[in-house]
Amino acid sequence: MMLLEHDAKVLLSKFGVPIPFGFLTEHADIALTSGMPCFIKAQVPVGGRGKAGGVVLVNSVEEANRELKRLLGNKLKGHQVRGCRLEAPSGGVECYISLMLDAARGRIAVLISESGGVDIEEQSTAGKVKQAYAGFDAKSVADTIATLARDMAPANRSAIIDASSSLVQAFFDLELTLVEINPLFVRDDGTWLAGDAKLVADDNAIERQPLLLQLLKERGHAYPEAALKIDHGFDFVRLDEDGDVGLLTTGAGLSMQLVDELSRKGCRPFNFCDIRTGQFRGEPTRLIQTIRWIGEGKSVKVILMNFFAGVTDLGELSKLFLAAREQTADIKIPIVIRLIGNGLETAISNLSAADASLVVETDLDKAVDRVVSIATAPAFKRG
């Protein structure tokens, strides 16, 4: 889960990271009376906001309100802007620091630079970003940062090392996979503050992180997929609000493969789904929820249900599916069913007996082709 800048800054401030004065608004008609000039910063989980017009300096209340109306509710780099941070301008030398988990090797990639800001990629290409790898412990990371910073200007070196103390603590305490401050503003006297912040949390660690759970409790609407996973125990991610194929699937890898394959064949998957059949426990609730969420997609023409059963008994699962289908009878979207594995014959018998129109494919390619033919049919009318 990538945190929005405002939430990342508020969270880091709990670890002693100084941040510019600012506040979040999700409404364009707030009653501003002073505080100019200030930055209006669109809150979307993506970099490059400034170059895309999502970070602007305003000099009057009228200008601020105009920019809020321009940004809120519209899309920026493919993401809908649901909130903006209003922030006091900061100054100083723009430095850069990031810590990134290299999970495959069990180490931390450390990057620092005295040339941060919006052109950090160009600075990196020019060799102005120093990089090294540290062991997976706080002392190793701190020592690596101190070594990388030894040739920096004294004020910058002091600020980077001081900042690293708080950032390393946050990185390990919150089980983050990325902490990035860009720019890290350094004043002449060596004091500093985080001009921008990017945090990425491990989705699998959120349940044991009180601060992240509290964030989702208070601002779950800003992180719908993460909040859904915490509340319901499985993954459902909306990929394309105008998508034409809904996915009712299990297995993250296979589900991602289906998203790619359907996209290659000219379809637009509405969602990613890993429903985790092993956790059904005799209840159709997850199936009902998923069908209803897919039903919210106004352009969805067909649902692909794909379950590869190992431990799961498809015979039992078919009964749950029929119960879910009965409770979602108002959603008139055709469902292509592909099942394979334990209890397949029983599942086919159950489904055929309940509704002769239900056809189960055991060949995934045939199921995908059928989905594509329905999704791309020019005269299709839903329900």
Which of 216, 264, 220 lies closest to 368, judged by CA?
Answer: 264
The per-residue pLDDT for 309 is 82
Assess if residue 2 is contained within a domain.
Answer: no
The per-residue pLDDT for 228 is 85
Question: Which segment of 134-143, 202-211, 212-221, 355-364 scores lowest on mean pLDDT?
Answer: 355-364
Distances (CA, A) of 349 to 77, 327, 352: 48, 21, 5
- Cβ atoms < 10 Å from Cβ of 258: 25
Is 380 a residue whose pLDDT tops 60? no
Tens of pLDDT, residue by residue over 98-119, are 999 998 888 999 999 998 888 7
Q: Using alpha carbons only, give the angle 253, 264, 290 rounded to the nearest 5 degrees.
A: 50
Assess if residue 4 is contained within a domain.
Answer: no
The per-residue pLDDT for 142 is 95
Task: Give the chain's length.
Answer: 383
Assess if residue 30 is contained within a domain.
Answer: yes
The per-residue pLDDT for 45 is 93
If asked whether residues 172 and 258 sit together in one domain, one would say no
DSSP letter for each residue of 238-285:
E--TT-SEEEEE--HHHHHHHHHHHHHTT--B-EEEE--GGG-TT--H
Assess if residue 218 is contained within a domain.
Answer: no
In terms of residue numbers, what domain contains 71? 21-87
CATH number for the domain spanning 301: value is: 3.40.50.261
Tens of pLDDT, residue by residue over 237-253, are 999 999 999 999 999 89
Mean of the pLDDT values across residues 161-184? 96
DSSP-derived pairing of the beta strands 93-102 and 245-249: unpaired
Is 311 a residue whose pLDDT tops 90? no
CATH number for the domain spanning 38: value is: 3.30.1490.20
Mean of the pLDDT values across residues 258-281? 92
- The phi and psi torsions of 165 (rounded to 5 degrees) equal -60, -50
The per-residue pLDDT for 355 is 86
One-letter amino acid of 138: A
pTM: 0.77
The per-residue pLDDT for 125 is 63
Q: How many domains does the chain have?
A: 3
If asked whether residues 128 and 177 sit together in one domain, one would say yes
If asked whether residues 260 and 343 sit together in one domain, one would say yes
Mean of the pLDDT values across residues 9-28? 95
Residue found by looking up tokens 């995934």 in the block: 364
Assign 362 to helix, strand or coil.
coil
Tens of pLDDT, residue by residue over 33-80, are 777 899 999 999 998 898 899 999 999 989 999 999 999 999 999 889
Identify the domain boundary among 87, 106, 137: 87
Mean of the pLDDT values across residues 78-87? 94
pLDDT category of residue 9 using cuts at 50, 70 and 90: very high
Assign 234 to helix, strand or coil.
coil
The per-residue pLDDT for 383 is 58
The per-residue pLDDT for 381 is 59
If asked whether residues 299 and 348 sit together in one domain, one would say yes
If asked whether residues 241 and 371 sit together in one domain, one would say yes
Identify the domain boundary among 87, 116, 142: 87
Question: Which segment of 103-107, 134-138, 212-216 scores lowest on mean pLDDT?
Answer: 103-107
Tens of pLDDT, residue by residue over 284-298, are 999 999 999 999 999
